[in-house]
Chains A and B, each alone.
Chain A
Amino acid sequence: MKKGDKSFDEQLITHKHTERLRHGFQIWPTLEFGKMPALGDERWTPDLIFSIWEQAQSGRPPDNGLEYRIGNSGGGFDRLDFKFLPKAEQLPSEFLPNLSLLLNKRPTGVKIQIPVPFYGAGMSYGSISENIMLSRARAATMWNIFTCTGEGGYPDSLVPYKDHVITQIATGMFGVREETIQYAPIVEFKYAQGAKPGLGGHLLGNKTTVAVAKMRGSLPWISLFSPFPFHSVYSVEDHKKHVDWVQTVNPKALISVKVSTPIDVDMVAVGSYFANANIIQIDGGYGGTGAAPEIAKKNIAMPLELAIPKVHRLLLQEGIRNEIVIMASGGIRSAYDMAKAIALGADGCVLGTMELVALGCTRCANCERGRGCPFGLTTTDPELQELVDPSWGSERLSNLYTSLSWQLRDILRKLGMKSIEELRGRRDVLKYHHKGSK
């Protein structure tokens, strides 16, 4: 191949952009404040975005003054803080608190344990590129945790990582086949996404490329809207039947149920438990890419920090808290958010946006328009997706995980706790900053 050759030129252009982008990641966090190329908002502040970049680069939380723990939303996790013990009572820094989490707490079934209390959220082929999916799957495999297919099907390139890939069954049933259910150690029913409860997933025509349409069996360039409910599930005994179906296809699979946070989310959780769920994922309203409609994102579901304790409490009352795992998701931005969610009653967290930020997301919200993400993340464009190389991506995610684990252990030590399990439901170690008190 030589210069002037079309594909050679294309490669060159891609190379140039990629280099820029990656180089930029290294220098951006060190730029003077006020000149940040990242966007962000009050919830995902530029500081948070930078610090995730930094962590994905170095595997450590930033030490240059960036606020990597909380955002500036004036509510939710941003008003919560930890009551750390006096230095003398904290555990020594060489002590390594246990972060592992058992994902099946029932007496029967396969025991799956993950070494850290988090895994990757469902993001579909179509909403993100295949290279991003691969980056996530490789990182999950390295860490012995999970990532999730989302609802757009199961690309063949993920099969080598199948022991670390959760198959999602969502209302559109796109790409769900018996073998994709059989691959999965965990099958996730997505009833709702916190970012757009009451709406199905949707992929606008612009991103439904030939390849995406092929994976989903639909026509290219036509918007794909999943229905808001499962049309075969209008009640809890239908849900039980749905679970029975999956367990007929794959009797070993653990069952995860992803729900948003309606007012009766606690009842939903109890119902899920009695319908054989191993994991209930409570998806709050702060997550979602730019593709989720703004009006839905911020106005429908109950805030995550209220939903978690509500669910935790009812499960305790029912005497079943220790048989089901609560995973919190939807706007977890830092190790601190994670620890707060766990202190409120969750067992662990599921990370979506945070992983995209680690791979270069600037929160520009241009996820669905035109060719999609300018950084090659939430795109289906064959050219743009080349901006992220899976080995580079997985390394960054792995670095992020390292940093998150380091911070979680640090928090536990400061609370005098020997394991992440001890933190669960310990609301007493949290304090609330009233408006103006900070």
Chain B
Amino acid sequence: MIQQWINSRSKQQVPLSYRKGEGEGGCGVIGLACEQRVAGKHLLTALTDMCNRGNGKGGGIAAVGLDPQIFGVDQSILNHDYLFTVAYLDHSCQAEVEKFIHALFEVDHVYKQHHLKSYESIGLEIEPPRVICYFLRVKKEIREDFIEKNSLQNAHAEAVDDEIIYQNSYRLNQTFYSSTGEKRAFVLSHGKNMIVLKMVGYGDQVIRYYKLEDFTAHVWIGHHRYPTKGKVWHPGGAHPFVGLNEALVHNGDFANYYSICEYLAQRHIHPLFLTDTEVAVLLFDLLYRTYGYPLEYVIEALAPTTERDFTLLPEHKQKIYQLLQKTHMHGSPDGPWFFIVAQSMQARHHKKAGYRLIGITDTSMLRPQVFALQKGAIAIGLAASEKQAIDATLKSLADENPQFWPQADFYWNARGGSYTDGGAFIFTVHPGMDGKASLECTDKFGNHVHTNLLKPPYVYTKKSVLAGQLPDLPAGELFEWMKSHIFHGEYEDVIKFMAALVHTGHKDEDRSRAFNVLTGLIDYRYPVGKLRWSSVLSLLNQSFNALALSIHRKSSQLYQYVACGDQIPDPQTNQQTLVIHARGFPAQGEGSLALAIVNGYRRGFKNFLIFDCTGQRFIGNGLGPNTDGVRIDVYGSSGDYLASGIDGAEIYVHGTAQDQLAQIMKEGKLVVYGDLGQTFLYGAKGGVAFVRGSAAGRPLINAVGQPRVVINGTCLDYLAESFMAGVPLKGGGFAIMNGVTFDEAARIVELESPYPGNNLFSLASGGAIYIRDPAQKIVKDQLNSGEFSEMTEADWELVLPYLEENARLFGISIERLLHYEGVSLKPAQVYRKVIPSKVQVLQEEEAWVKGK
């Protein structure tokens, strides 16, 4: 049967060459899946804030699980008809295209997509295509003819229709949108209950131009593209691309584009738009629809499980996966990539129809990716290139609907090609009988994740709350008092005392006390009774913002406020803290937050409080050498490269951080009260860093000198690759990895493994890792060029001060760390030391130099 499907495509015209049309690498992607239909406007801020991941030469959105009323159809037509969406670049060819359509299909309804009158008004340079949606069905005689011609008598009628639709779109695109010639019209999407819109511009401009602000859907993806070629005047190359019932966006680049094209050509599939993304979705469609693989196998064929992870799979999976890998290796995209797929699930393939959002990372996790889940009254799952985009979406939702709040319950990264999660997560929306849908989150293997029953979230009400009476205590004691008093009742209690802190008055000692207390409450983990932590945290952050904003109204001896566009003032005293409201500052370049900090520093400020960040990059960069005594506190969604190159400054991130932190850091201190992203401390020379949570891939890569870092969680893979940081006991660098986390009740608990990755200390030639592994879970296979070495008294003495500071910063006591399964152990029983295995034999030259 599969062969018959493939043969049915053999009469198609074949394009002449498979050269990539445009080099492409980066992109900004975001996707969401929600129990309730979400309006397009909620993607706007996320996409605007990520515009530095695109260059305005291609933007697009896909929406799945639509509102029939918008189109003027009933639910049944929306569910059962193909939503055939055509982009007309040349308006004169509409009649020709429609002739094409009417020949094969019954058209039940036609809907013209609204758009702005003037495209220039939103800064577009090229007029986007006019879009017409046709709700259609395959004509009976066409179907019968197709079955007859291709001997598909045993096929499901719907599958035949799918194939007719698919082949028709191919022909239509070839006729009206040849990649090398005229570009008059093309099919944007043709699946059921889904639509794709794209243009030459940014993703957010798609929403604005097509007036999708109030257009609602259960699943959305948005995309900015960064084609490297300059002159792009047609939107065909923009993402998303479609298979049949799925739309895919992609951030990355395939090294084996040609090989995949060949692989597809052998199956009579030919790309027409000449980008990686198109072949990615063609692959997905081939595996999913033609071969009929379950999603797990589709993912395995795209991102194979390798190395030690493979050997840790159950035997039956190994067997199947090996077959999949053997069969599809040539079609497996090689290189850095992260896919987000929106899929309209058909009852034929699944028990019932639904919508889902799938995020898949390549095996080596070379592109940034963050997943998040908020399980309130209306659950929502998100996936994006940057955490800040997720936060921006949640904030936008929360601003409008009190059932959402600006903080997800869970943020996490997928571990590519792994036996643990498979490098992919899927958010599935199941529409219910009563019109209420339900959302579930699963990993590649279909395991449900984050299923723990959560406590009720805070739902905003307009009811005014009287401020509570704060006891008159100094900051430290007040913090302890609040920690133990205000979180054991209702949200109202928290709000009451937050209000008291926020309206603390303009006196410096009150302000500084309020800042200290709120910061402590944000930084530490402590039990919050029947309240939900993410709700509490978002209340704390909102209160913090309100407090910081109050300085705007009145500066004081200790605090001076600036926002975007303000002149940076001179400090009035050398103790004064420059409070910068980050929202509104560009992420980089002239006028950026980073340069505002540099400016403030040059004017003499040494203390900075940066709040309400929305992904601004390079915080703390550019201060230059010898910045001892500078302290920067960062709140909100901070951006990439934070603390890079610092030489003495101290930076505290009060929340989760993003990618490339502390690149080439030289001296100073970085503290992160949360998790952080890819390539932490790349090429670092020194300094100390403390991370409460986990790092994503490649922390400490190529670090030299004497960086010293404590990571309390773990990292996904490639820890300390090419580490060259001398001999720790003689002043060199090291990393301590504790393998613990906090549970919902704020207890410190063991992670399943202190290090799940395959590559620990690959190619390292110096430094050491002290890894807390009382159960001896780490095996030699994981050490690429490292070896276990004895954990001596001297080692313990070396790491002890760092663990003490770690305990002070995060409340993770040494006593707790030396505790395992109810027993207190000796340091050498808990910590294992990994050192480089190749101890270079002293060479003649060294002997010769030493002899001098």
Q: Contacts A220-B846, A222-B724, A274-B230 given; 8 further ones with Cβ under 8 A?
A: A209-B849, A221-B840, A221-B842, A234-B252, A244-B52, A244-B617, A245-B621, A264-B23
Distance in Å from the Cβ of B848 to the closest Cβ of chain A? 9
User: B residues 238-269 with Cβ under 8 Å of A?
Assistant: 251-253
Is A241 in contact with B52, judged by CB distance below 8 angstroms?
yes
User: B residues 567-588 with Cβ under 8 Å of A?
Assistant: 588
B625 sits at the interface (CB 8 A): yes
User: B residues 625-642 with Cβ under 8 Å of A?
Assistant: 625, 640-641
B679 sits at the interface (CB 8 A): yes
Is B230 in contact with A240, judged by CB distance below 8 angstroms?
no
Partner of B52, one of A173, A225, A240: A240
The 8 A CB mask of A1-24 against B (1 = contact, 0 = none) is 000000000000000000000000
Distance in Å from the Cβ of B361 to the closest Cβ of chain A? 12
Is B226 in contact with A235, judged by CB distance below 8 angstroms?
yes
Is B663 in contact with A173, judged by CB distance below 8 angstroms?
yes
The 8 A CB mask of B716-735 against A (1 = contact, 0 = none) is 00000110111100000000
Range of interface residues on chain B? 35 or more
A226–B683 alpha-carbon span in the complex (Å): 10
Q: A221-B846, A222-B840, A318-B229 are in contact. Are A267 and B22 (CB under 8 A)?
A: yes
Most buried by A among B644, B702, B706: B702
The 8 A CB mask of B117-159 against A (1 = contact, 0 = none) is 0000000000000000000000000000000000000000000
Q: A221-B842, A232-B678, A267-B229 are in contact. Are A238 and B26 (CB under 8 A)?
A: yes
User: B residues 1-55 with Cβ under 8 Å of A?
Assistant: 20, 22-28, 52-55
Is A231 in contact with B679, judged by CB distance below 8 angstroms?
yes
- 6 A-B residue pairs with Cβ-Cβ distance under 8 Å, sorted by A, are A173-B663, A177-B685, A178-B621, A178-B622, A244-B618, A270-B23
Is B766 in contact with A226, judged by CB distance below 8 angstroms?
no
Is A172 in contact with B683, judged by CB distance below 8 angstroms?
yes
Is B664 in contact with A176, judged by CB distance below 8 angstroms?
yes
For A179, the chain B residues whose CB sits under 8 A away are: 624-625, 647
Distance in Å from the Cβ of B388 to the closest Cβ of chain A? 14
Q: Which residue of A lies closest to B718 (CB)?
A: A231
For B663, the chain A residues whose CB sits under 8 A away are: 173, 232, 245
B656 sits at the interface (CB 8 A): no
Is A219 in contact with B28, judged by CB distance below 8 angstroms?
no
Is B621 in contact with A248, judged by CB distance below 8 angstroms?
yes
Which residues of B does A touch, CB under 8 Å?
20, 22-28, 52-55, 226, 228-231, 251-253, 336, 366-367, 588-590, 592, 594-595, 598, 617-618, 621-625, 640-641, 644-647, 659-660, 663-664, 666, 678-679, 682-683, 685-686, 698, 701-702, 704-706, 721-722, 724-727, 763, 765-766, 840, 842-843, 845-846, 849
A62 sits at the interface (CB 8 A): no
Distance in Å from the Cβ of B59 to the closest Cβ of chain A? 14
A273 sits at the interface (CB 8 A): yes
Is B252 in contact with A248, judged by CB distance below 8 angstroms?
no
Is A173 in contact with B664, judged by CB distance below 8 angstroms?
yes
A2–B679 alpha-carbon span in the complex (Å): 56
Distance in Å from the Cβ of A257 to the closest Cβ of chain B? 12
Is A173 in contact with B622, judged by CB distance below 8 angstroms?
no
For B646, the chain A residues whose CB sits under 8 A away are: 178
For B660, the chain A residues whose CB sits under 8 A away are: 232, 241
Distance in Å from the Cβ of B367 to the closest Cβ of chain A? 6
Is B625 in contact with A318, judged by CB distance below 8 angstroms?
no
Partner of B644, one of A205, A236, A245, A273: A245
> Which listed segment binds B: A93-101, A120-128, A210-218, A304-312?
A210-218
Q: A173-B702, A237-B26 are in contact. Are A206 and B845 (CB under 8 A)?
A: yes
A155 sits at the interface (CB 8 A): no
For A66, the chain B residues whose CB sits under 8 A away are: none
A141 sits at the interface (CB 8 A): no
For A290, the chain B residues whose CB sits under 8 A away are: none
Is A205 in contact with B843, judged by CB distance below 8 angstroms?
yes
A370–B844 alpha-carbon span in the complex (Å): 9
Q: A173-B682, A205-B840, A238-B25 are in contact. Are A267 and B228 (CB under 8 A)?
A: yes
Distance in Å from the Cβ of B121 to the closest Cβ of chain A? 25
Partner of A234, one of B25, B666, B727: B25
A320–B228 alpha-carbon span in the complex (Å): 13
A318–B253 alpha-carbon span in the complex (Å): 22
The B interface, classified by DSSP as helix, strand, loop or mixed, is loop
Distance in Å from the Cβ of B252 to the closest Cβ of chain A? 6
For B228, the chain A residues whose CB sits under 8 A away are: 236, 267-268, 270-271, 274
A240–B28 alpha-carbon span in the complex (Å): 13
Distance in Å from the Cβ of B498 to the closest Cβ of chain A? 35
Most buried by A among B20, B231, B724: B724
The 8 A CB mask of A353-387 against B (1 = contact, 0 = none) is 00000000000000000110000000001100000
Partner of A217, one of B23, B28, B704: B704
Number of A interface residues in the complex (CB < 8 A): 58
Is B679 in contact with A249, judged by CB distance below 8 angstroms?
no
Which residues of A does B touch, CB under 8 Å?
171-174, 176-179, 181-182, 205-206, 209-210, 216-227, 231-232, 234-241, 244-245, 247-251, 264, 267-268, 270-271, 273-274, 317-320, 370-371, 381-382
Is A274 in contact with B55, judged by CB distance below 8 angstroms?
yes
For B849, the chain A residues whose CB sits under 8 A away are: 209-210, 382
For A172, the chain B residues whose CB sits under 8 A away are: 683, 702
A227–B679 alpha-carbon span in the complex (Å): 13
Q: A177-B645, A219-B765, A264-B23 are in contact. Are A231 and B682 (CB under 8 A)?
A: yes
For A247, the chain B residues whose CB sits under 8 A away are: 588-589
A172–B660 alpha-carbon span in the complex (Å): 15
Q: A177-B625, A237-B226, A267-B22 are in contact. Are A209 and B682 (CB under 8 A)?
A: no
Q: Which residue of B lies closest to A222 (CB)?
A: B765
Partner of A248, one of B618, B682, B702: B618
A247–B28 alpha-carbon span in the complex (Å): 22
A182–B705 alpha-carbon span in the complex (Å): 21
Is A218 in contact with B23, judged by CB distance below 8 angstroms?
no
Q: 4 nearest interchain CB pairs?
A: A237-B26, A173-B683, A235-B25, A271-B228
A178–B253 alpha-carbon span in the complex (Å): 31
Q: Which residue of A lies closest to B765 (CB)?
A: A222
Is B621 in contact with A249, judged by CB distance below 8 angstroms?
yes
Q: A234-B25, A270-B228 are in contact. Are A222 and B701 (CB under 8 A)?
A: no
Partner of B845, one of A221, A267, A318: A221
Q: A178-B647, A248-B621, A267-B228 are in contact. Are A221 and B843 (CB under 8 A)?
A: yes
Partner of B722, one of A206, A219, A227: A227
For A182, the chain B residues whose CB sits under 8 A away are: 624
For A217, the chain B residues whose CB sits under 8 A away are: 685-686, 704-706, 724-726
A206–B844 alpha-carbon span in the complex (Å): 9
Partner of B664, one of A177, A271, A381: A177
